[in-house]
Structure 1
Amino acid sequence: MVIALVNGRVLTPDEEIPRATVILDEGRIAAVGEGLPPPAAAEVIDLAGLKLAPGFIDLHVHGGGGFSLMTEDREEVRSYARWVVSRGVTAFLITLAAAARPQLERWLAAAASAGESVPGGARPLGVYLEGPFVNPKRKASFPTEGLRLPDVSELLAHVRTAQGRLRIIALAPELTGGRELIAAARDQGLVVSIGHSDATYEEALEAISLGVTQATHCFNAMRPFHHREPGCLGAILASPQVAAELIADGVHVHPGAMALLLRAKGPQRTILVTDGVAPAGLGPGTYSLAGRQIEVTAGMATLADGTLAGSVATMDQSVRNLVRLGLASLQEALRMASLNPAVALGLEGRKGRIARGFDADLVALDEGLEVVMTFVGGEMAFCRPKGSAG
């Protein structure tokens, strides 16, 4: 079916079209421009008063809407995909936290079997392995029994179980075996991210020279900056080739630190992520996270000892936060939520822009930047009920 989206304000990283027509055909954007006449057979959808942006891509998310991505049930992954389109997300990575090896293997098998597309849902683009090769000093909410030294043979086993779907691995490069693991991961075509790390400035710079190109939830679970020992955070901020993930929920990172990161990396090298867990998008209460109890209060998910256990924010909320705090323009925030993650995955030729030939993954936002409609592969996956508030 051909769909013509008319009268919307198109926003991309490079341009703005005030009253645009966007033609969707066979899962791709067939044409975009101001004043284009819709094809005769097209279904016409009027977006007057709405902003149309590239669909959000969440590279780092463990769940949301009551669904966990750290699961042995592939249908739970697919249920998450159908829920998250209500938050403007059109694609995501299934992010698995550090766990005992047999558990990780079962999660990976489920993730691999979830498929590359979900009818009426966001597309799972693959798997992000957050651990298990991370530093116990910076483990955050990870269980101690899930941590291990870098092991190339284990990594290769996980690659096989993931059936070619593993995309990113986060690790602490200062650990024994870190160099070898970076090399093996790069040989497998993986993006290597520094995360849950206590690396010094020099250790982090060496890891970057070996192929680390991303930083996992910057500021969180890593050695902090000090003017006499900048640590891995200093190396990340000083290295233009490293893209930095940012959790903009207002809990994980202070607005002043967000401003510092954005000044250092710019909107071009900052990737907005949620780090969401299963209760994301729900209300306060007691929930389960990979078999452990967490409490959600005041917009925070914590273990019994008060340790943050992921985020309960959603991607649309994170975009709104950046704009409302005055930390980024709307177009910059949209770039961080769409094009930048596409670039990280090597998909910038298909996703992250509203341009001819690109995937028809789109989100329509109202004046309050609430999600009104989401399109995945040229089909409407979500439409807010008429009369309901955002």
Structure 2
Amino acid sequence: MPSNKSVSDAPIAQFTNCRILRDRRLQREDLWVREGKILNPEKLFFDEKGSADVQLDCKGSIIAPGFIDVQINGGFGVDFSLATDDFKSGIDLVSQKILSHGVTSFCPTLVTSPPSVYHQVLPQINVRNGGAHGAGILGAHLEGPFISKEKKGAHPEHCIRTFEAGAFQDLLATYGSLDCVRIVTLAPEIKRSSEVIRELTKRGICVSLGHSVANLSQAEEAVQHGATFITHLFNAMLPFHHRDPGIVGLLTSDKIPAGRRVFYGMISDGIHTNPAALRIAHRAHPSGLVLVTDAIAGMGLAPGRHTLGQQVVEIDGLNTYIAGTKTLSGSVATMDACVRHFLEATGCSVETALEAASLHPAQLLGIEHKKGTLDYDSDADFLMLNDSLYVQATYIAGEEVWRQDVLGASYQRAVFSSTTTASRVTAMPATNLLVLSWWSGESRQVCARRDCWSLE
């Protein structure tokens, strides 16, 4: 029966028999979606006198906000730090592939590179919404080149730069444009970095501290100037020392400006960070922990040698090294795997593990009003997961964009003949359900059909 709605004629989907992550706990509630947004059912019932056009039985699944990866260097053979002729097709491939791992939004990350690479690549990174084509792009994360040579990690030393008298102008000359930039990682001990941090912050760009030998006072000064993030905590920075804990000390610093929260990225792949270190960080500052993959081009590929920016790396299981060395170079773990490892390593709650990959990165970027949450009126970017936190289905703007079932993943859109007059078609592979809505005279009609994926 068609619903009675006065606000919109768009179909309403009701996800039933599920546990929703909302208000930091899993709640047995239905999830209501219309036009890509999470609906408040009370307003729907009492203000609009509306009801669902289609109900989807989630069979007890967990529904959580889509994951947000703010540090991903590439994957599936694609390296975001390579200025290739097919760069756009490469970023499209990665954005599509990571849907199966629950990522609905991400920040393509460039490691330290020559200015020519930034000038060629950044104009090709377009901020865009996600959909059937792939995860949404929130903006670029530029990890370098203004970092410490002593803590360069896998970054090519010959490309590392410092700030000259022009400082911010040096940065602009290096990158060429900041139009698509969302995060910049730099070493705060570099001279004139305070000026750069202030200027980036004014432009709404998140400043992250990393690949650095900064002491705690230098890190605190950077935060006071506007820095809000730490790039892969523990990795490529001074180790914790009881007399000067360095950047790590920001997790419990009493010098953080009132109302400000410092976030920190953690690579929870079982390689980059010992489980004990994960537990220490999480227990010290749980609300600031952001899970990142730091994935390289080798993610999703077979073991062997691959290219990362200006470096050749070798993949051996979950270990990724600069070829010929034992220096770690990024990760090949996927975001859903990082969430599961974090849950196991820390013994935290399921809710906490999921929020570290969704709510916290959204808060870091200041988009928690629409991403990383299932609050009413937020974007309907969400996942269905089983109790072991394996992704079963991924939704963006309320539309299923990936499903574990091969048939559901392949037939996300039905094909209709030219005589079809439906004004809206919504495919629901979760139940083999197809919803058609159209106008007949003055009234809108809705028809739900099952098992019609080959309809032509």
- Decide which of 255, 264, 268 is 2:275's aligned counterpart: 255
| Contact kept in structure 1, 2:111 and 2:309, CA below 8 Å | no
Q: 1:219 aligns with which of 226, 234, 251?
A: 234
Greater shift, 296-305 or 52-61, is seen at: 296-305
Higher relative contact order, structure no. (Cα contacts within 8 Å, ≥ 6 residues apart): 1
Q: Which moved more, 1:321-330 or 1:196-205?
A: 321-330
**1:90 equivalent among 87, 104, 108:** 104
Contact 1:108–1:158 (Cα < 8 Å) also in 2: no
Match of 1:168 among 171, 175, 183: 183
AA aligned to 1:102 is: S
Structure 2 distance, partners of 1:39, 1:63, is 43
Q: Does 1:231 align with 2:246?
A: yes
- Residue of structure 1 in register with 2:140 after alignment: 127
Percent identity, please. Answer: 34
Structure 1 position 41 matched with structure 2 position 53: yes
> Equivalent residue for 1:285?
304
Which residue identity lines up with residue 304 of structure 2 in the other structure?
G
Deviations 1:105-140 (A, max 9, x none): 21212213x744454311001111111110100100
User: What is the DSSP-based 3-state SS (H/G/I as helix, E as strand, rest coil) of the residue aligned with 1:212?
Assistant: coil
Shift of 1:378: 1.2
Aligned-pair distance for 1:149? Answer: 0.4
TM-score, normalised by the number of residues in structure 2: 0.79
Please list the CA deviations of residues 143-192 of structure 1 after superposition, one character each: whole Å capped at 9, or x if unmatched: 012210033113335676342x2111111011112112112212222111
Q: Which string of whole-angstrom CA distances, capped at 9 and with x for unpartnered residues, describes residues 17-37 of structure 1?
A: 22x32122111112469xx99
Query: 2: distance between equivalents of 1:279 and 1:100?
Result: 22
- 8 Å Cα contact 1:49/1:367 also seen in 2: no
Corresponding letter in the other structure for 1:29: I
User: Is the partner of 1:161 in helix, strand or coil?
Assistant: coil
Tell me the CA shift for residue 237 of structure 1. 4.1
d(CA) in 2 for partners of 1:146, 1:277: 19
| Residue of structure 1 aligned with 2:114, choices 100, 120, 140 | 100
Shift of 1:364: 0.6
Where 1:325 maps in the other structure, the secondary structure is helix
Closer/same/farther in 2, CA of residues 38 and 88 from structure 1, 3 Å limit: farther
How far residue 45 of structure 1 moved from its aligned partner, in angstroms, is: 2.6
Cα distance in structure 2, aligned partners of 1:200 and 1:324: 32
Residues 76-103 of structure 1 deviation map (CA, whole Å, 9 limit, x = unaligned): 1111111101000000111111111111
Residue pair 2:105, 2:136 contacting (<8 A) in 1 also: yes
What corresponds to 1:142 in structure 2?
A: 155
Question: Amino acid of the residue matched to residue 53 of structure 2?
Answer: A
Equivalent residues of 1:9, 1:16 under 8 A apart: yes
- Mean Cα displacement is larger for which, 68-77 or 98-107? 68-77
DSSP 3-state at the match of 1:302? strand
Counterpart among 332, 336, 353 of residue 312 in structure 1: 332
In 1: Cα distance, 2:50 partner to 2:297 partner:
41
Deviation at 1:220, TM superposition (A): 0.3
What residue number does 1:6 align with? 16
Q: Rg: which structure is higher?
A: 2
Supply the distance in 2 between the matched residues of 1:84 and 1:63 (Cα, whole angstroms). Answer: 10
Within a 5 Å distance, the mapping from 1:313-328 to structure 2 comes to: 313-328=333-348
SS in 1 for 2:371: coil
Deviations 1:58-90 (A, max 9, x none): 111111233333343112111111110100000
Distance 2:218 2:110 in 1: 25
| Unmatched segments (≥5 aa) in structure 2 | 1-10, 409-456
Letter aligned with residue 109 of structure 2: T
Q: Tell me which residue corresponds to 1:81.
A: 95
Partners of 1:156 and 1:24 in 2: how far apart? Answer: 42
Structure 2: distance between partners of 1:212 and 1:295: 33
Distance 1:387 1:285 in 2: 32
